[in-house]
Structure 1
């Protein structure tokens, strides 16, 4: 067997096989992949060709194509992309004059992060949610870090939700006057930190009341009963009372009447009989006068109670109705509500006139008697 391996024929075969496998081994040794390279958009981006030698010609490909964006090649084989834009992104590879792969890299282009636009919502005394939008579209994957603190307190994390670009803080120090939120955005090209300061008691804005229900009161064609539930996000105990504002109007009117209440249900006494009414409701922290009103609840449309047409005789039916665009109350909501509760009936006007006549008659009699007494004296 050793003699066979040392024979001229066997040695020739071994040499041939070694020579034929040499290119493959060379390709494996010189194939270098550096992963992902990041560059600034609209700038010149340089891609190195691995271990290429100066003066040795190389060929660059983009996504396996020899068509390249505007560029130049340096003497050491590096590719310089001139004022690269998004179309220049892709998988770049450089090859020697025999077509062997020398180097490959994935190019991603973008911008540095910029300052964020931050807004915070405080739906109750125990929760803060801050959201943000980017002022600069970076076109690159970003990481965020957020922290929150009150004046003189330690920084605490603001729990991130990257899918919706917001963060949450539970049980903030509401008694602190000023609070600060700090958000840092970073990507492969750099980072930027945004800080915002705000007052929680001024941002406090409850969610709208829920389950608004408005019904007519049987037997009373000018009354409506309004009921609702507290917002689900508001803590239900006496430490955090809410003030509610109800506004209502006949459908088609441009003027609202208003009623304020600390609890429900509430009865409206001056609805316009026979007309559809629009009713809405909102809430605000009763104790904190600097807090904000919630958004209005969705419109609720209702008609006051009406006598059934089958139970009315022709004589009982009214001879005329107000047109839809006529509403016999003041344009000021508070005054309109007050007037509707103190309206004067025709019977009251007659009684008032009789009283006035009796008073005048008494004054005349008294004056006459006093005059006689004075003359006699």
Structure 2
């Protein structure tokens, strides 16, 4: 039984391995482009290389030159080959071999670098519809490099449309949010090729564009408040079921540490700003259901909380005259409308007095009722006592023997 389980697990592992190998073979594009730069020889850095002098007689003497000058590190052999050991960038250049008369026999340009390593690939969507993939080489090869990008969806292989504006970028249009995609990016240079597979579901890699039109405003008469508002990124879909949440970072320009707020609206009120100090604010966005990742930060905006304006002596005089005029105006307004104002005040006073009198009357009535009930109970108690006393005396009289008088 144990051996059967072991065999089944081994077959399962082999099956998965075969499927992965088939997927890799199917996913790797066939590179038909060949590096055919005539007169250029590509070779790996840090290795040994033998340069042959073509068209030379094997028994004749040859002279090697680099960039037109005699090569001091020359190593001659019977066949006229030049041996270069542990190559470095300093050995790059145009190599030529010449016969005894100085006639050119053969030349080649030597270019040194590294074969490619598996590229780094990142994909994201800013609106659930158009998907963007970017990549970069994992190492600097020092050689001309080409990339080929394609993707697999629903069993079909399609070319990822190259973005001619942004380098090393391609787009997949009209994606389906909950479907699975696989992107293959192949890196090729004259020394070889390699590829990277990236599998994902668009819903899980959504990354909105940064919020737009960030604005910071003062709140009049509130020296520690700032009103911040912004707009959703224009690329975000307008569908009612797709919402964003926002993270707001703010700080005084004089400080390095940030304070943070979160909001589902496109506006917040900061109430703990430092009075009189300029502040910097930035905002980022994320899918409301917490899918994917946060957007990049928006462009920073600056604002200073409201401060009470300072008054100079001349301004103070004008301010006093203004206040006097305003006072006179308010007084004249009060006098012209004093009848209405007084009537309102009188009505309010009368209503208040009426309510007070009513409360007093109710209280007096309640107290009088309680007193009356108490007196009534007391009278009833005395009446019961009298009746009981008279009944007792009557019973005692009946109990005495009758004396017959003659």
Confirm or deny a common fold (TM above 0.5). Answer: yes
Q: Secondary structure at the match of 1:172?
A: coil
Q: What's 2:145 paired with?
A: 142
Which deviates the most, 219-228 or 55-64?
A: 219-228
Note the C-alpha offset of 1:301.
4.0
> Are the counterparts in 1 of residues 131 and 173 from structure 2 also a CA contact under 8 Å?
yes
Task: Report the Cα distance in structure 2 between the residues aligned to 1:162 and 1:39, rounded to whole angstroms.
Answer: 32
Structure possessing the higher radius of gyration over alpha carbons: 2
Note the C-alpha offset of 1:146.
1.0
- Say whether residues 1:63 and 2:67 are aligned partners: yes
Task: Report the Cα distance in structure 1 between the residues aligned to 2:222 and 2:57, rounded to whole angstroms.
Answer: 98
Q: Secondary structure at the match of 1:284?
A: strand
- 5+ residue gaps, structure 2: 1-36, 321-373, 382-406
User: Alpha-carbon deviations, 1:46-92, whole Å to 9, x = none?
Assistant: 222222222111111111111243x5333222222222222222111
> Are the counterparts in 2 of residues 209 and 230 from structure 1 also a CA contact under 8 Å?
yes
Q: Pairwise mapping of residues 243-322 of structure 1 onto structure 2 (< 5 A)?
A: 243-246=245-248, 256=259, 258-262=261-265, 264-267=266-269, 270-271=271-272, 274-276=275-277, 279-286=281-288, 288-310=289-311
Which deviates the most, 210-219 or 103-112?
A: 210-219
Note the C-alpha offset of 1:259.
4.8
Q: Pairwise mapping of residues 175-190 of structure 1 onto structure 2 (< 5 A)?
A: 175-176=178-179, 178-190=180-192
Tell me how large the CA RMSD over aligned residues is: 3.6
- 5+ residue gaps, structure 1: 1-32, 314-371
Note the C-alpha offset of 1:245.
3.8
Task: Report the Cα distance in structure 1 between the residues aligned to 2:182 and 2:139, rounded to whole angstroms.
Answer: 23
Note the C-alpha offset of 1:203.
2.0
> Are the counterparts in 2 of residues 150 and 173 from structure 1 also a CA contact under 8 Å?
no
> Are the counterparts in 1 of residues 276 and 306 from structure 2 also a CA contact under 8 Å?
no
- Say whether residues 1:208 and 2:219 are aligned partners: no
Q: What's 1:157 paired with?
A: 160
Task: Report the Cα distance in structure 2 between the residues aligned to 1:105 and 1:250, rounded to whole angstroms.
Answer: 63
Note the C-alpha offset of 1:170.
2.7
User: Alpha-carbon deviations, 1:161-202, whole Å to 9, x = none?
Assistant: 5973333333333221x3322111112221111222233322
Task: Report the Cα distance in structure 2 between the residues aligned to 1:304 and 1:202, rounded to whole angstroms.
Answer: 40
Q: Pairwise mapping of residues 95-174 of structure 1 onto structure 2 (< 5 A)?
A: 95-150=98-153, 152-161=155-164, 164-174=167-177
Task: Report the Cα distance in structure 2 between the residues aligned to 1:273 and 1:55, rounded to whole angstroms.
Answer: 89
Q: What's 1:242 paired with?
A: 244
Note the C-alpha offset of 1:285.
1.8
Q: Secondary structure at the match of 1:201?
A: helix
Note the C-alpha offset of 1:254.
6.1
> Are the counterparts in 2 of residues 145 and 184 from structure 1 also a CA contact under 8 Å?
yes
Task: Report the Cα distance in structure 2 between the residues aligned to 1:250 and 1:92, rounded to whole angstroms.
Answer: 63
Alignment: residue pair count: 281
- Say whether residues 1:44 and 2:51 are aligned partners: no
Task: Report the Cα distance in structure 1 between the residues aligned to 2:291 and 2:214, rounded to whole angstroms.
Answer: 26
Note the C-alpha offset of 1:295.
3.4
- Say whether residues 1:81 and 2:81 are aligned partners: no
Q: Secondary structure at the match of 1:154?
A: strand
Question: Kindly tell me: are residues 221 and 126 of structure 1, through their superposed partners in 2, closer, same or farther at Cα, counting changes over 3 Å?
Answer: same
Q: Pairwise mapping of residues 2-41 of structure 1 onto structure 2 (< 5 A)?
A: 35-41=39-45
Q: Pick from 97, 103, 108 the counterpart of residue 94 of structure 1.
A: 97
Note the C-alpha offset of 1:133.
2.6
Q: What's 2:403 paired with?
A: none
